[in-house]
C-alpha cells in the first residue's frame, strides 16, 4: 500500500514537472519572435533551472537569494521585474506540487498575517479601475507593479520557510553574506574605476533626478538602484555582522568585515543612515547595558559619524540642517517652502514636497489615490520622502492604519521571540538585532522612501522567516516554532 502511495506521488510529481516544462516550452516559442533575444535566452535557461529547482532545492533557493543583490541595477532589460515574477511563479509551483504529492507546506502564523495584509493591499488595485480612488484605471499598471513587489516579499518568506528542517538557520544566514560580494566589488569600481563599468552599474546610472551628483562627484550605490537603497542594504548586514561578532571565536574576521561595510555605508553619503544607526545602537545596548557594550556602541557610532563629517559633502549636509525650521526658529514652514525653490537644501525641499502631498491627500482622505501612485499624485515626478505621507496619499486613513498595524505586528513578533528563547542564545540575540533594525526603520521613514527599498525588505523577510524557526537551543515547550507549526493543506 505504501509503495503504491509513493508511486502515485512520484507520478504526480513527474506529471507536474512535465507540465511545467510544457509551459516553459510554450513561453519559449512565444519569445522566439521577441525583439529582445535576452528574453529568449532566459526562457531557454529556465528549463534546466526548473529541473535544478526541484532536484537541488536548497542550493537553488540559496543561489537565488545571493544572486538578487547583484541584478538590482540591471533595469535596461527589466531583470529585477523578471526575477520577481519568476520567484512568485516558482514558489506557487513548488507549493502546488508539495500539496498534490501530499507533503507538508511549512508556514507560521506571521506568514498568514502577512498574507492577509498583502490581500488587503489588493483592494486598492481593484478599486482603482472602478473609480473608487483619487486616480483612475489608466494608472492600473503602476499599481499592479507595486502590489507584485509586496507579493514577492510574501513569496520569499514562504519559499524560505520551506528550507526549515533542511538547512540550519545559522548556515542559511551565513550564506547570505555572499550577497555582499558583488555589490561591494562594484562599489569599489564606482569609486576608483568607474569608466570600466557598463551604464547600468555606473555611479550615476539609472537616476533620473540627478540626486546622485554631489559636490564630491557621484555617490556610490554598488549594484543597488540608488545610494539610499545601498545604505539600508548595508545597514541590515551591519546588524548581522554585529550578531556574528557576539558569537564568533575569530572576531577579527568580522571586525574587518564590519569596518569594510561601515566604510561603504558612509560612502553612500546618506544622512538618514546616521539616524538609523543611532537608534540601532541605542536599542541594542539598552537590554544589557554595561561598560563594554556602551563603549562598543558609542565607538561604532562615533567612527561612522566621524567618517561622514570628514567629507566636504557630509559637512554641507550637517550644516544645512541649521537652515531649516528644525534648528532655526527664524525659519517657519512657509519660508522653508519658499526657500526650497533655490537654496538647494534637501530638508526644505522635503518640507515643500510634504506640504504638496498633504494638500493632495485632503481631497481623498479615506482611501487615497491608489497603491504605488504617490508620484502621480504629487505631479512632479518625485516620491514623498516620507513613508507615512506616502501611505496616506496612496491608501488614505484606512491604509495608514493597516500599515502601522503591520509594522507593530512585526515588532510584537520579535519581542515574543526574544521572551521565548534562551538568554544568551544565538537565536535570541539575532531577534534582538532584528528588533533594533526594525525600530530604526520608522525613524528613517520620516525623511526617506524606506518602503521603496526592495533589497532591504527582501533580505529582511528572508531573515525574519529564519528567526522564527526552532534552533534546537531550548526545550520544545518554549520553542519559537509554536509561532507557526508546519501546516498541511488538503
Q: What is the pLDDT of residues 356-381, one digit of tens each?
A: 999 999 999 999 999 999 999 999 88
Asked whether the predicted pLDDT for residue 124 surpasses 50, the reply is yes
Shared domain check, 173 and 68? no
> Within 10 Å of residue 23's Cβ, how many Cβ atoms?
14
227-250 pLDDT, tens per residue? 999 999 999 999 999 999 888 888
Number of independent structural domains in the chain: 2
Q: Please report whether residue 26 resides in a domain.
A: yes
Range 30-37 average pLDDT: 47
Report pLDDT digits (tens) over 134-181: 999 999 999 999 999 999 999 999 999 999 999 999 999 999 999 999
Joined grid coordinates for residue 138: 489608466
Answer yes or no: do 255 and 182 share one domain.
yes
Mean pLDDT of 296-302: 73
Q: Which residues contact 303 (CB under 8 A, 6 or more apart)?
A: 262
Which residues constitute the domain of residue 247? Answer: 107-326+362-483
- What is this structure's pTM? 0.85
Are 89 and 112 contained in the same domain? no
User: Which of 86, 105, 124 is the last residue in one of the domains?
Assistant: 105
pLDDT of 23 > 50? The answer is: no
Same domain, 269 and 279: yes
In the 8-state DSSP scheme, what is residue 487? B
27 Cβ contact list (under 8 Å, min separation 6): 43, 46
Q: Using the 3D structure, point to which of 80, 105, 130 is the last residue of a domain.
A: 105
Compute the half-sphere exposure of residue 257: CA atoms within 13 Å on the CB side of its CA: 20
Q: How confident is the model at residue 302 (pLDDT cuts 50, 70, 90)?
A: confident
Domain shared by 162 and 297, yes or no: yes
Q: In this structure, what is the dihedral angle of CA atoms 53, 58, 62, 67, given to the nearest 10 degrees?
A: -20
Instruction: Output the CA–CA distances (angstroms, integers) from residue 176 to 111, 152, 242, 264, 440, in the order listed.
Output: 21, 18, 15, 18, 21
Cβ neighbours of residue 270 closer than 8 Å, sequence gap 6 or more: 227, 228, 231, 448
Cα–Cα dist 27/328, whole Å: 60
What stretch of H or E contains 225? none
The three-class DSSP label of residue 216 is coil
Share of the chain above pLDDT 70, in %: 74
Mean pLDDT of the chain: 82
Question: What number of other Cβ atoms are within 10 A of residue 166's Cβ?
Answer: 11
Q: What percent of the chain has pLDDT over 90?
A: 54
Residue 278 has pLDDT above 60, yes or no: yes
Amino acid 351: pLDDT: 87
pLDDT over 70 at 405, yes or no: yes
pLDDT of the residue at 24: 47
Of residues 139 and 285, the one with the higher pLDDT is 139
Q: What burial class does residue 159 get, using C-beta atoms within 10 Å of its C-beta: 0-12 exposed, 13-18 middle, 19+ buried?
A: buried
- Is 321 among the domain residues? yes
Amino acid at each position: 500500500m505504501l509503495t503504491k502511495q509513493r508511486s502515485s506521488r512520484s507520478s504526480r510529481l513527474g506529471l507536474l514537472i512535465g507540465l511545467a516544462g510544457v509551459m516553459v516550452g510554450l513561453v519559449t516559442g512565444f519569445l522566439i519572435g521577441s525583439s529582445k533575444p535576452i528574453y529568449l535566452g532566459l526562457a531557454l535557461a529556465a528549463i534546466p533551472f526548473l529541473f535544478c529547482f526541484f532536484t537541488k532545492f536548497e542550493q537553488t533557493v540559496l543561489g537565488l537569494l545571493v544572486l538578487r543583490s547583484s541584478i538590482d541595477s540591471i533595469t535596461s532589460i527589466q531583470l529585477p521585474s523578471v526575477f520577481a515574477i519568476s520567484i512568485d511563479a516558482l514558489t506557487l509551483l513548488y507549493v502546488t506540487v508539495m500539496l498534490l504529492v501530499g507533503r507538508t507546506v511549512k508556514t507560521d502564523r506571521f506568514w498568514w498575517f502577512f498574507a492577509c495584509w498583502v490581500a488587503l493591499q489588493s483592494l486598492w488595485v481593484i478599486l482603482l479601475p472602478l473609480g473608487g480612488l483619487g486616480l483612475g484605471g489608466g494608472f492600473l499598471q503602476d499599481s499592479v507593479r507595486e502590489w507584485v513587489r509586496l507579493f514577492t516579499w510574501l513569496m520569499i518568506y514562504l519559499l524560505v520557510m520551506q528550507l526549515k528542517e533542511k538547512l540550519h538557520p545559522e548556515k542559511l544566514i551565513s550564506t547570505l553574506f555572499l550577497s555582499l560580494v558583488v555589490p561591494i566589488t562594484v562599489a569599489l569600481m564606482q569609486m576608483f574605476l568607474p569608466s570600466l563599468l557598463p551604464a547600468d552599474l555606473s555611479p550615476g546610472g539609472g537616476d533620473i533626478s540627478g540626486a546622485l551628483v554631489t559636490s564630491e562627484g557621484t555617490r556610490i550605490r554598488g549594484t543597488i538602484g540608488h545610494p539610499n537603497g545601498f545604505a539600508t542594504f548595508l545597514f541590515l548586514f551591519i546588524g548581522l555582522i554585529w550578531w556574528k561578532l557576539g558569537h564568533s571565536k575569530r572576531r577579527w574576521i568580522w571586525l574587518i568585515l564590519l569596518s569594510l561595510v561601515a566604510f561603504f555605508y558612509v560612502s553612500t553619503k546618506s544622512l538618514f543612515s546616521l539616524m538609523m544607526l543611532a537608534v540601532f545602537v541605542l536599542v541594542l545596548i539598552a537590554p544589557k547595558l554595561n561598560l563594554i557594550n556602551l563603549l562598543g556602541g558609542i565607538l561604532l557610532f562615533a567612527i561612522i559619524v566621524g567618517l561622514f563629517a570628514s567629507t566636504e559633502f557630509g559637512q554641507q549636509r550637517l550644516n544645512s540642517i541649521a537652515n531649516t525650521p528644525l534648528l532655526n526658529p527664524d525659519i517657519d514652514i512657509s519660508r522653508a517652502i519658499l526657500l526650497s525653490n533655490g537654496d538647494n537644501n534637501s530638508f526644505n525641499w522635503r518640507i515643500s514636497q510634504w506640504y504638496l502631498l498633504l494638500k493632495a491627500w485632503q481631497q481623498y482622505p479615506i482611501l487615497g489615490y491608489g497603491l504605488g501612485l504617490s508620484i502621480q499624485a504629487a505631479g512632479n515626478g518625485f516620491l514623498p520622502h516620507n513613508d507615512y505621507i506616502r501611505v496616506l496619499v496612496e491608501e488614505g486613513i484606512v491604509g495608514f492604519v493597516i500599515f502601522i498595524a503591520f509594522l507593530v505586528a512585526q515588532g510584537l513578533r520579535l519581542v515574543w521571540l526574544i521572551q521565548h528563547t534562551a538568554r544568551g542564545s544565538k537565536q535570541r540575540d539575532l531577534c534582538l538585532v532584528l528588533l533594533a533594525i526594525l525600530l530604526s526603520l520608522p525613524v528613517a521613514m520620516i525623511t526617506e522612501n524606506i518602503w521603496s527599498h526592495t533589497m532591504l525588505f527582501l533580505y529582511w523577510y528572508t531573515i525574519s522567516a529564519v528567526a522564527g524557526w526552532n534552533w534546537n537551543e531550548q526545550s520544545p515547550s518554549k520553542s519559537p516554532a509554536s509561532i507557526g507549526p508546519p501546516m498541511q493543506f488538503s
